[in-house]
Amino acid sequence: MDTIDPYSPCPCGSGKKYKFCCLRKLRDREAREERPLFWSVSPFEESADTEFASLAVEDLDAERAFCTKGLRLMAAGEFEKAIPLFQTAVSKAPTVYTASNNLALCLFATGKLGEALRVQSDSRTASPFPNPFGLANLATFLYIGGDEDGARRTLDAALEVQLPSADACVKVCETLARFKRHQAILDAADKSGYGSDSAVCFFTGVAAANLGDRSRAQRDLRRVNFGHHKADWVRRYLQNLDENSTPHTIRGDWPYLLTYEVCPLQVVEQEFKRDQTAWLARRVVADFFEAFLNDAFDKADTAMQALRFATHPDATALLWMIAKGIFGPDSLRMAALQCLRERGEFAPQQRIEVFFDGKRREVTLTGTKLNPDFRFAKALPKKWDDVYEKATMAANSKNPDWDALGTTFLKIIKAVPGYYPARFNYAVTLLNRGRMEEAETILSALVEEQPEYFFARAALLQLFIGDGRRKEAEALLKATVIPTETHPAAMSAWLVAQARYHEREKDFEEARKVILQAYQISPDNPRAARCRAFGVCRGRCGGGRCRRPPRFSDQSFVISSKIIASIQPSSVVW
């Protein structure tokens, strides 16, 4: 039928064009018949009648009835409700593997990986009949469970068995796809006799594309039914093939599986809860988030949070592919580099070539450890420490008495001259009393003497911004060297100041990114929270034109942070 000219008279004799008569009916039927083969299997393969002929008829009929009802629930996505039906079907005819295959899939879909593995393993023992679908299932469960060698051996066993149905062929191809065994997919499909099946053609078409055989890829992908659950992928892939291009993916390859096909989210959640360390050591974590990023690289933060802690070598390899490649935005590559640095994958100050701002360039990445226990200067004597803490808390109250606080900080400075945080907070009182020149003198001296003391640097930057001293603000930014360790509140204060700078330069997107970083580092910082909620500057002026910078008190002893260690994008040196 596919060879008929769509604009020729329909063979049915209706007098209509074939395209508007039987071809349309054919496509509609294909769409209705197409099923998400990732979950469903036929209740009996084509060879079942001969394989199971020795079983009691009543047992087969009962098994078939419960299995059919369960499949209807699977098709509706009611996997939990289907489980007891398949369990009953297994009990009626335990040697018939079909119900066990489906029961294992339902358990898998609902996050019960251990139970799914047990059911499929028991079925392998209970049923004397060849079950390549079940072996492919078992290989998938072993792979997700962390037993990659066991998964490969089980999959190889499935390839040695004659495939009895298109469903079994699809399941074997799907499992081969997990290991990127492209040629094995073509070999298995060609040998099976089901190579013309629509769902099988999806896998062979993608395999051919990955092997560079564009002619076969086009031929097979054009055989995929309109109703296939990845029909949109097929359209995109055919367009790529017509244009002699490749999909925009991390590897530059042609993926087979959607994110939920790599591993159901319920399994991810349950396995993470059961043993977080063991889960993060599995290859499937890297594969899952590779598929996730390929589907939605605009949600990179979610993926990077997981890949930051994933310990499998494939996770490291994936991060390098992202960092060295051209996939996604520049921020994704920077995030990958930061994760790699945390893993010790390259030395401090090592130059690395990356694609950034539209071209290849070398960058040097430094890093900052954010430590909530970090202390600036030596600890104050107990007497003055209590006075200092009360004063900093008062400075952040609703209506501070800046004159009184100035007197208090002066007393601390005289009593402990080397304690420079008190000098900073005295400068803050001057700023809030309009004595800008005096404050600037103190802040400039602190920046010169204590370059890593970011509270003073942040306040000075905002003073320059408030006075419209653009060149001085830019010079201060360029002269800043990110320390190897600091307090989260200090880094948050510095990022807030940078955000105001970017806002004044009308780089609002960069300002937004920086203020979000400040909030993530120190959500207790009221200034960061306020800017995050209402924009970068929504203070007394309402629009970023404040002459005076916002209040800054050194709260390194009283502000807590949920983030202990991080590497900030501001630590990238070009």
Q: Look at residue 31 and tell me if it is in a domain.
A: no
- Mean of pLDDT values over 271-282: 93
- Mean of pLDDT values over 499-516: 82
**Which residues 6+ apart lie within 8 Å of 410 measured at CB?**
426
Q: Look at residue 186 and tell me if it is in a domain.
A: yes
Greater model confidence, 45 or 483: 483
Which alpha helices (DSSP H) does 244-363 contain, by range?
A: 259-262, 265-274, 276-280, 283-295, 300-307, 313-324, 330-342
How large a percentage of the chain has pLDDT more than 70? 79
Q: What is the pTM of this model?
A: 0.63
Amino acid at 404: A
Cα 222 to chain centroid distance, Å, stands at 32
Q: How confident is the model at residue 532 (pLDDT cuts 50, 70, 90)?
A: very low
CA distance 35 to 72: 11
Residue 86 and residue 226 in one domain: yes
Closest Cα to residue 168, out of 95, 63, 121, 98? 98
Q: How confident is the model at residue 49 (pLDDT cuts 50, 70, 90)?
A: very low
Q: Look at residue 40 and tell me if it is in a domain.
A: no
Greatest mean pLDDT range, 62-76, 288-302, 426-440: 426-440
Residue 307 and residue 224 in one domain: no
Residue 93 has pLDDT above 80, yes or no: yes
The residue out of 235, 270, 292 marking a domain boundary is 235
Q: Name the domain count of the chain.
A: 3
Q: Tell me: the pLDDT tens digits for 162-182?
A: 998 899 999 999 999 999 999
Q: Tell me: the pLDDT tens digits for 216-262?
A: 999 999 999 888 889 999 999 999 999 999 999 999 999 999 999 99
- Mean of pLDDT values over 549-558: 35
- Mean of pLDDT values over 58-76: 80
Closest Cα to residue 196, out of 234, 227, 232, 166? 166
Residue 193 and residue 129 in one domain: yes
Residue 329 and residue 395 in one domain: no
For 15, phi and psi rounded to 5 degrees? 90, -10
The residue out of 365, 398, 424 marking a domain boundary is 365
Sheet (strand 359-365) strand order: 351-356, 359-365, 572-573
How large a percentage of the chain has pLDDT more than 90? 48
The residue out of 185, 220, 235 marking a domain boundary is 235
Q: Tell me: the pLDDT tens digits for 360-378?
A: 887 766 567 777 788 888 8
Q: Look at residue 475 and tell me if it is in a domain.
A: yes
CA distance 413 to 445: 15
Q: Look at residue 512 and tell me if it is in a domain.
A: yes
Residue 185 and residue 281 in one domain: no
- The domain of 202 spans 48-235
Residue 128 and residue 156 in one domain: yes
Q: Do the bridges between strand 351-356 and strand 572-573 make them parallel or antiparallel, or are there none, so unpaired?
A: unpaired
Q: Look at residue 52 and tell me if it is in a domain.
A: yes
- Mean of pLDDT values over 53-70: 70
**Which residues 6+ apart lie within 8 Å of 567 measured at CB?**
338, 341, 342, 365, 367, 368
Q: How confident is the model at residue 338 (pLDDT cuts 50, 70, 90)?
A: confident
For 143, phi and psi rounded to 5 degrees? -60, -45
Q: How confident is the model at residue 519 (pLDDT cuts 50, 70, 90)?
A: low
Residue 183 and residue 215 in one domain: yes
- Mean of pLDDT values over 25-51: 43
Residue 546 has pLDDT above 60, yes or no: no
Q: Tell me: the pLDDT tens digits for 386-411?
A: 999 899 888 888 889 999 999 999 99
- Mean of pLDDT values over 499-520: 80
Structure tokens at 297: 């690289």
Q: Look at residue 407 and tell me if it is in a domain.
A: yes
How does the average pLDDT of the chain come out, rounded? 81
Residue 269 and residue 399 in one domain: no
Whether residue 163 contacts residue 132, with contact meaning beta carbons closer than 8 Å, is answered with yes
CATH number, domain containing residue 478:
1.25.40.10
Residue 101 and residue 201 in one domain: yes
Residue 417 and residue 532 in one domain: yes
For position 429, what pLDDT does the model report?
92
CA distance 258 to 419: 58
Residue 287 and residue 423 in one domain: no
For position 154, what pLDDT does the model report?
97
Residues, the chain: 574
- Mean of pLDDT values over 147-167: 94
For position 364, what pLDDT does the model report?
67
C-alpha pair distances (Å), 229 with each of 37, 178, 368: 9, 18, 46
Greater model confidence, 357 or 553: 357
Greater model confidence, 214 or 493: 214
Q: Look at residue 500 and tell me if it is in a domain.
A: yes
- Mean of pLDDT values over 458-475: 92
Residue 79 and residue 228 in one domain: yes
Angle between helices 420-431 and 402-415 (to 10 degrees): 160
For position 430, what pLDDT does the model report?
94
